[in-house]
Structure 1
Amino acid sequence: MAIETDMTGKVALVTGAASGLGRATAQKLALAGAKLCLVDVNAESLAETAALIAEAATEPLVHAVDLADPDACRDAVTATVDHFGRLDALCNIAGIIYLANSPEMPIALWHQTMAVNLSAPWFLSQAAIPHLLETNGAIVNCASSAAFIGEAYAAAYCASKAGLVNLTKAMAMEYVKQPIRINAVAPGGMLTNIAVNFQPPEGCDVDLIKRFSGLRGQVEVDDVADMICLLASDAGRGYHGACINIDAGITAG
């Protein structure tokens, strides 16, 4: 899927930028002309992303923080605006998943999943919205096909992503009369570091996991990154309060 976007002169903050979809999105936004703040907890891999972008575009701002901390979320937005003088797009892509039998899910991992997948986009959006209103900007949240179907052993992940979809819609309605766009994408399984490190719980029923694997295979990371770039740019002006499913038919029925 080749979508033409123009982000010349605009500034985007991308979370989860150290690898996978976040890195792909950052690279595409840079090629479209955007100046970038790259955010992730993995400082080493984040530096690798920054080096890749600097080869083809302007040198990005690197901000290595743990988004489970609400103050870190706000600081990331502040750092972006202080450095570039504006903010045009917030791309909330960072996400984590832990698979577990529900009674055995550690409390700490439940809270971490909610903090990174749901609370971080909220706190980042809180800080970003005043700046995005000034630039007629956009928020793009990365949900999942897991927001729409039950996935065995992934209760925390499903709950966090379903919450993110409705958070997107609620904020979109709050600002439906303002020149800001708030949308989400919902990918199916992609070949990212999350997929590579996929570890089902011991003794799980493999047939249950196959139910959300998809008959058409995994989704291309670049296809999802293209859609995020579209929604982040003026080319996505017709979208507001939408969640675009990119899952090769997993949620079709």
Structure 2
Amino acid sequence: MQAGDMTGKAVLVTGAAAGLGRATAIRLARAGADVAIVDIDAANLAETAMAIEMEGVRVLNRPADLAARENCLAVVADAAAAFGRLDALCNVAGIMIPSHTTSMSAEAYEKTIAINLSAPFYLCQAAIPHLLETDGAIVNVTSCAAFRGQAYFAAYCATKAGLTHMTKALAMEYTHKPIRINAVAPGGMMTTLASNIRLLEDGDRSLLSRISPLRGLVEIDEVAEVVAFLATDAARAFHGACLNVDKGITAD
């Protein structure tokens, strides 16, 4: 899949400080888009901003905690104001907190819901009026966990399944409008998020084999290419789709 030309267009990418978010933002910049980038990690977000500037496009570096609804609404408003338009929203930001379900703290649970499910909803809510004006696109990053249960990640799985179905519901709601709304469900990637996860010492390792990729981890750039493709007019035939980029882990 090859991203279309985004010259003169503007996109908003969340979770852009590292990993898939950074790779997606840079890929869209290479396609010619001006890029607004958002993440709570201000230091690494600044590095992403420099990489985008090297592509010769404009960048809006906007550190923010997307767990708060008002921040979600503000970053969309700032992106539209900075570039005078908004052509795509890529909801990439996400968190994973392993826990036995009976011992997961309310804080950890609420944070997972806030970042993985509520933030994409509020960002879509704010972005849709702008995207309707530009025949734009929304790309939500879900996970293979939306389709396969993962031990010790009940909250994470719930949010990704919810985001996948939210994507389809939004696509139905806007079937007769010139906006495209799709999702990408990656398999395991060696992102900063994944590398920072510490498995439970008392967890049953045999349960984790169910989600182990037989063909190995998915390359971040491969997933970024699909996300970027769906954000551009090259993917105008896609609406309400969820593309699984997981090396076959959900094939069974």
Q: TM-score, normalised by structure 1?
A: 0.98
Secondary structure in structure 1 of the residue aligned to 2:54: helix
- Name the counterpart of 2:237: 238
Cα shift at 1:57: 2.2
2:140 is paired with a residue whose SS is strand
Point out where structure 1 has 5 or more consecutive residues left out of the alignment: none
The answer to whether the 8 A contact 2:39-2:45 is kept is yes
> For residue 171 of structure 1, what is the aligned residue in structure 2?
170
Alignment partners' CA distance in 1, 2:117 and 2:47? 26
What is the aligned partner in structure 2 of residue 41 from structure 1?
A: 40
Cα shift readout 1:55-106 (whole Å, capped 9, x = no counterpart): 1222310110000000000000000011111000000000000011110111
The residue that corresponds to 1:134 in the other structure is 133
- SS of the aligned residue for 2:211 comes to coil
Match of 2:159 in 1: 160
Give 1:37's aligned amino acid.
A
Give, in whole Å, the separation in 1 of the partners of 2:212 and 2:89.
Answer: 29
In structure 2, the residue matched to 1:105 is 104
CA contact (8 A) 2:172 2:240 kept: yes
- On the 8 A contact 2:140/2:184 being kept in 1, the answer is yes
Residue 35 of structure 2 aligns to a residue in which SS? Answer: strand
C-alpha distance in 1 between matches for 2:102 and 2:56 = 48
Q: Which residue of 1 aligns with 2:196?
A: 197
State the Cα deviation string for residues 225-249 of structure 1 (Å, max 9, x = none): 0011110000010000000000111
- Structure 2 distance, partners of 1:5, 1:209, is 38
1:12: which partner in 2?
11
Moved more, 24-33 or 188-197: 188-197
Contact 1:28 1:229 in 2 (8 A): yes
CA distance in 2, matches of 1:133, 1:4: 20
Paired amino acid for 1:63: R
Report how many aligned residue pairs link the two structures.
252
Q: Which moved more, 1:51-60 or 1:9-18?
A: 51-60
Deviations for 1:199-229, whole angstroms, at most 9, x for unmatched residues? 1112111111121011111001111100111
Separation of aligned partners in 2, 1:165 and 1:70:
20
Q: Which runs of 5+ in 2 are unaligned?
A: none
Q: Please identify, of 54-63 and 16-25, the stretch whose mean Cα deviation from structure 2 is larger.
A: 54-63
Shift of 1:4: 4.1
CA distance in 1 between counterparts of 2:89 and 2:103 reads: 35
1:207 and 1:7 map into 2 onto residues whose CA distance is 46
Contact 1:50/1:59 (CA < 8 Å) preserved in 2?
A: no
User: Which residue does 2:68 correspond to in 1?
Assistant: 69
Residue 31 of structure 1 pairs with residue 20 of structure 2 = no
CA distance in 1, matches of 2:28, 2:85: 16
Question: What does residue 119 of structure 2 align with?
Answer: 120
User: Distance between the aligned counterparts of 2:128 and 2:36, measured in 1?
Assistant: 16
Q: Which amino acid aligns with 1:221?
A: I
After the TM superposition, which segments of 4 or more aligned residues of structure 1 sit over 4 Å from their partners?
A: none
1:211 alignment partner, SS class:
helix
Distance in 1 separating the partners of 2:31 and 2:96? 30
Secondary structure at 1:204's aligned position in 2? coil
How big is the alpha-carbon RMSD for the aligned residues of Structure 1 and Structure 2?
0.8
Distance 1:111 1:229, change over 3 A: same
Q: Report if aligned partners of 2:3, 2:232 keep a CA contact under 8 Å in 1.
A: no
Counterpart of 1:57 in 2: which secondary structure? Answer: coil
Q: Which residue of 2 aligns with 1:144?
A: 143
Secondary structure of the structure 2 residue equivalent to 1:186: strand
TM-score normalised by structure 2 residue count:
0.99
The one-letter code matched in structure 2 to 1:217 is G
Identify the residue that residue 225 of structure 1 maps to in structure 2.
224
